[in-house]
Amino acid sequence: SGKPSLVGLECLSRGPAGTAFANAEALFAYARYKRAEPVVDQECITLALKAASRVPEDVFISVNAHASTLSRCSDFANWLCSCARSNSIAFNRLTVEIVEHAPVWNKVEFLRALGDLRQAGIKIALDDLGLGHSNYQMIVDARPDYFKIDRYSIHGCFLDKQRQAVVSSIAKLAADLQGRVVAEGVEGPMTFRNYSRSALTSSRAFCSARRYGLRSSAQSRPRPWLRNNSPAKNTAGCTVW
Protein backbone atom coordinates (compact mmCIF):
# COMPACT_ATOMS: atom_id res chain seq x y z
CA SER A 1 0.00 0.00 0.00
CA GLY A 2 3.02 2.31 0.36
CA LYS A 3 1.88 3.42 3.81
CA PRO A 4 4.16 2.95 6.84
CA SER A 5 2.94 0.79 9.70
CA LEU A 6 4.39 -0.03 13.07
CA VAL A 7 6.00 -3.49 13.14
CA GLY A 8 8.24 -3.48 16.19
CA LEU A 9 10.49 -1.59 18.54
CA GLU A 10 14.24 -1.90 18.89
CA CYS A 11 15.39 -1.06 22.40
CA LEU A 12 18.55 1.03 22.21
CA SER A 13 20.85 1.62 25.15
CA ARG A 14 22.52 4.78 26.40
CA GLY A 15 24.79 5.39 29.37
CA PRO A 16 24.25 8.05 32.05
CA ALA A 17 23.44 11.44 30.54
CA GLY A 18 26.17 14.04 30.86
CA THR A 19 28.99 11.47 30.91
CA ALA A 20 31.36 10.18 28.23
CA PHE A 21 29.35 6.96 28.18
CA ALA A 22 26.07 8.61 27.21
CA ASN A 23 27.12 7.73 23.67
CA ALA A 24 26.33 4.07 23.00
CA GLU A 25 29.46 3.49 20.90
CA ALA A 26 31.69 4.73 23.73
CA LEU A 27 29.77 2.70 26.30
CA PHE A 28 30.05 -0.60 24.44
CA ALA A 29 33.61 0.02 23.26
CA TYR A 30 34.62 0.33 26.92
CA ALA A 31 32.58 -2.76 27.80
CA ARG A 32 34.43 -4.74 25.13
CA TYR A 33 37.76 -3.37 26.36
CA LYS A 34 36.92 -4.62 29.86
CA ARG A 35 35.47 -7.86 28.48
CA ALA A 36 32.25 -6.93 30.27
CA GLU A 37 29.83 -7.31 27.36
CA PRO A 38 27.58 -9.82 29.20
CA VAL A 39 27.20 -7.54 32.24
CA VAL A 40 26.36 -4.46 30.18
CA ASP A 41 24.13 -6.33 27.70
CA GLN A 42 22.07 -7.96 30.44
CA GLU A 43 21.66 -4.72 32.40
CA CYS A 44 20.52 -2.90 29.26
CA ILE A 45 18.10 -5.68 28.31
CA THR A 46 16.66 -5.73 31.83
CA LEU A 47 15.88 -1.99 31.68
CA ALA A 48 14.64 -2.23 28.10
CA LEU A 49 12.13 -5.02 28.76
CA LYS A 50 10.87 -3.24 31.86
CA ALA A 51 10.12 -0.17 29.73
CA ALA A 52 8.79 -2.19 26.80
CA SER A 53 6.28 -4.06 28.96
CA ARG A 54 3.82 -1.23 28.20
CA VAL A 55 4.12 -1.61 24.43
CA PRO A 56 1.01 -3.00 22.66
CA GLU A 57 0.99 -6.78 22.37
CA ASP A 58 0.89 -6.81 18.56
CA VAL A 59 4.28 -5.05 18.37
CA PHE A 60 7.46 -7.12 18.58
CA ILE A 61 10.40 -6.07 20.73
CA SER A 62 14.03 -6.26 19.67
CA VAL A 63 17.01 -6.21 22.04
CA ASN A 64 20.72 -6.15 21.28
CA ALA A 65 23.33 -8.63 22.47
CA HIS A 66 26.96 -9.19 21.52
CA ALA A 67 27.78 -12.56 20.01
CA SER A 68 30.42 -12.79 22.73
CA THR A 69 27.65 -12.46 25.35
CA LEU A 70 25.82 -15.44 23.90
CA SER A 71 29.02 -17.46 23.68
CA ARG A 72 30.04 -16.71 27.30
CA CYS A 73 26.63 -16.95 29.00
CA SER A 74 25.60 -20.59 28.81
CA ASP A 75 22.18 -19.81 30.29
CA PHE A 76 21.43 -16.65 28.27
CA ALA A 77 18.21 -17.96 26.70
CA ASN A 78 16.75 -19.02 30.05
CA TRP A 79 17.77 -15.71 31.60
CA LEU A 80 16.11 -13.75 28.77
CA CYS A 81 12.93 -15.82 29.01
CA SER A 82 12.80 -15.23 32.77
CA CYS A 83 13.26 -11.49 32.25
CA ALA A 84 10.51 -11.43 29.61
CA ARG A 85 8.18 -13.49 31.79
CA SER A 86 8.62 -11.12 34.73
CA ASN A 87 7.51 -8.25 32.47
CA SER A 88 4.60 -10.21 30.94
CA ILE A 89 6.19 -10.22 27.48
CA ALA A 90 5.51 -13.29 25.33
CA PHE A 91 8.67 -14.98 24.08
CA ASN A 92 7.47 -15.00 20.46
CA ARG A 93 7.41 -11.18 20.52
CA LEU A 94 11.16 -11.04 21.15
CA THR A 95 13.95 -10.66 18.63
CA VAL A 96 17.61 -10.76 19.66
CA GLU A 97 19.85 -8.65 17.44
CA ILE A 98 23.34 -10.07 17.20
CA VAL A 99 25.98 -7.34 17.38
CA GLU A 100 29.64 -8.15 16.97
CA HIS A 101 32.81 -6.16 16.43
CA ALA A 102 35.17 -9.10 17.02
CA PRO A 103 35.17 -12.81 16.17
CA VAL A 104 32.94 -15.10 18.25
CA TRP A 105 34.99 -16.40 21.18
CA ASN A 106 33.34 -19.78 21.57
CA LYS A 107 31.45 -20.85 18.47
CA VAL A 108 30.04 -24.03 20.04
CA GLU A 109 28.45 -22.12 22.92
CA PHE A 110 27.30 -19.37 20.58
CA LEU A 111 25.45 -21.83 18.35
CA ARG A 112 23.98 -23.57 21.40
CA ALA A 113 22.64 -20.25 22.69
CA LEU A 114 21.07 -19.50 19.30
CA GLY A 115 19.42 -22.91 19.32
CA ASP A 116 18.02 -22.32 22.81
CA LEU A 117 16.62 -18.95 21.76
CA ARG A 118 14.92 -20.44 18.71
CA GLN A 119 13.50 -23.29 20.74
CA ALA A 120 11.87 -20.71 23.02
CA GLY A 121 10.29 -19.03 19.99
CA ILE A 122 12.63 -16.01 19.98
CA LYS A 123 13.71 -14.68 16.58
CA ILE A 124 17.26 -13.77 15.53
CA ALA A 125 18.43 -10.67 13.66
CA LEU A 126 21.88 -9.73 12.37
CA ASP A 127 22.64 -6.08 13.02
CA ASP A 128 24.76 -3.83 10.77
CA LEU A 129 25.01 -6.49 8.08
CA GLY A 130 28.17 -6.04 6.03
CA LEU A 131 30.07 -4.21 8.77
CA GLY A 132 32.56 -5.67 11.26
CA HIS A 133 32.00 -9.40 11.71
CA SER A 134 28.38 -9.39 10.54
CA ASN A 135 29.53 -11.18 7.40
CA TYR A 136 28.64 -14.25 5.33
CA GLN A 137 30.09 -16.62 7.92
CA MET A 138 27.85 -15.07 10.57
CA ILE A 139 24.86 -15.43 8.24
CA VAL A 140 25.56 -19.14 7.80
CA ASP A 141 26.06 -19.66 11.54
CA ALA A 142 23.21 -17.49 12.84
CA ARG A 143 20.59 -18.25 10.15
CA PRO A 144 18.85 -14.96 10.98
CA ASP A 145 15.15 -14.24 10.62
CA TYR A 146 15.97 -10.58 9.95
CA PHE A 147 18.81 -9.10 7.90
CA LYS A 148 19.45 -5.53 9.06
CA ILE A 149 21.33 -3.44 6.50
CA ASP A 150 23.36 -0.56 7.89
CA ARG A 151 22.35 2.96 6.92
CA TYR A 152 25.68 3.40 5.09
CA SER A 153 24.45 1.05 2.37
CA ILE A 154 20.83 2.23 2.56
CA HIS A 155 21.33 5.99 2.43
CA GLY A 156 20.52 7.18 -1.09
CA CYS A 157 20.74 3.69 -2.56
CA PHE A 158 17.75 4.29 -4.85
CA LEU A 159 19.94 6.91 -6.60
CA ASP A 160 23.29 5.07 -6.23
CA LYS A 161 23.74 2.00 -8.44
CA GLN A 162 26.59 0.60 -6.32
CA ARG A 163 24.59 0.78 -3.09
CA GLN A 164 21.54 -0.50 -4.94
CA ALA A 165 23.50 -3.54 -6.11
CA VAL A 166 24.67 -4.29 -2.55
CA VAL A 167 21.18 -3.94 -1.09
CA SER A 168 19.65 -6.00 -3.90
CA SER A 169 22.13 -8.81 -3.33
CA ILE A 170 21.34 -8.89 0.41
CA ALA A 171 17.61 -8.83 -0.31
CA LYS A 172 17.95 -11.78 -2.68
CA LEU A 173 20.09 -13.66 -0.16
CA ALA A 174 17.53 -13.02 2.57
CA ALA A 175 14.70 -14.23 0.33
CA ASP A 176 16.61 -17.39 -0.56
CA LEU A 177 17.16 -18.06 3.15
CA GLN A 178 13.54 -17.25 4.05
CA GLY A 179 14.51 -14.14 5.98
CA ARG A 180 13.33 -10.53 5.92
CA VAL A 181 15.31 -7.36 5.34
CA VAL A 182 15.23 -4.33 7.62
CA ALA A 183 16.61 -1.15 6.10
CA GLU A 184 18.06 1.19 8.69
CA GLY A 185 18.07 4.92 8.06
CA VAL A 186 14.72 5.17 6.24
CA GLU A 187 13.39 8.23 8.07
CA GLY A 188 10.73 10.71 7.06
CA PRO A 189 7.72 10.36 4.75
CA MET A 190 9.52 11.46 1.59
CA THR A 191 12.34 8.95 2.06
CA PHE A 192 9.81 6.23 2.81
CA ARG A 193 7.88 7.05 -0.39
CA ASN A 194 11.09 6.87 -2.43
CA TYR A 195 11.78 3.38 -1.09
CA SER A 196 8.17 2.31 -1.50
CA ARG A 197 8.35 3.17 -5.21
CA SER A 198 11.71 1.48 -5.63
CA ALA A 199 12.03 -2.00 -7.10
CA LEU A 200 14.03 -2.83 -3.99
CA THR A 201 10.92 -2.68 -1.84
CA SER A 202 8.45 -4.42 -4.12
CA SER A 203 8.67 -7.57 -2.01
CA ARG A 204 7.71 -5.58 1.11
CA ALA A 205 10.90 -6.77 2.75
CA PHE A 206 11.89 -3.34 4.01
CA CYS A 207 10.71 -1.53 7.11
CA SER A 208 11.33 2.01 8.30
CA ALA A 209 13.51 2.84 11.26
CA ARG A 210 13.29 6.01 13.33
CA ARG A 211 14.33 6.69 16.92
CA TYR A 212 11.98 7.56 19.73
CA GLY A 213 12.41 7.82 23.49
CA LEU A 214 10.68 5.52 25.97
CA ARG A 215 11.55 6.19 29.59
CA SER A 216 11.96 3.19 31.84
CA SER A 217 10.02 4.85 34.69
CA ALA A 218 6.53 3.57 35.50
CA GLN A 219 5.02 7.04 34.92
CA SER A 220 5.86 7.12 31.21
CA ARG A 221 3.13 6.91 28.61
CA PRO A 222 3.26 3.68 26.61
CA ARG A 223 3.14 5.25 23.15
CA PRO A 224 6.78 5.79 22.15
CA TRP A 225 6.03 6.17 18.44
CA LEU A 226 4.26 9.47 19.21
CA ARG A 227 7.10 10.95 21.20
CA ASN A 228 10.67 12.05 20.55
CA ASN A 229 12.43 12.57 23.87
CA SER A 230 16.09 13.22 24.54
CA PRO A 231 17.85 10.23 26.12
CA ALA A 232 18.26 10.38 29.89
CA LYS A 233 19.84 8.14 32.49
CA ASN A 234 18.31 4.64 32.50
CA THR A 235 16.30 5.47 29.40
CA ALA A 236 15.54 2.81 26.80
CA GLY A 237 15.36 4.34 23.33
CA CYS A 238 13.13 2.62 20.78
CA THR A 239 13.50 2.39 17.04
CA VAL A 240 10.32 1.86 15.07
CA TRP A 241 10.83 -0.78 12.39
Query: Per-residue confidence at 45, pLDDT binned at 50, 70, 90?
Result: very high
Q: What is the pTM of this model?
A: 0.79
Report residue 228's pLDDT band, with 50, 70 and 90 as the boundaries.
very low
Length of the chain counted residue by residue = 241
Residue 221: pLDDT over 50: no
pLDDT in tens, 106-128: 889 999 999 999 999 999 999 87
Contact 62, 44 (CB under 8 A): no
Edge-to-edge strand ranges of the sheet holding 146-149 = 180-183, 146-149, 123-129, 94-99, 60-66, 8-13, 235-240, 210-215
More confident residue, 84 or 134: 84
Q: What mean pLDDT is predicted for residues 17-36?
A: 86
Q: Report which of 108, 102, 98 is spatially closest to residue 66, judged by C-alpha positions.
A: 98
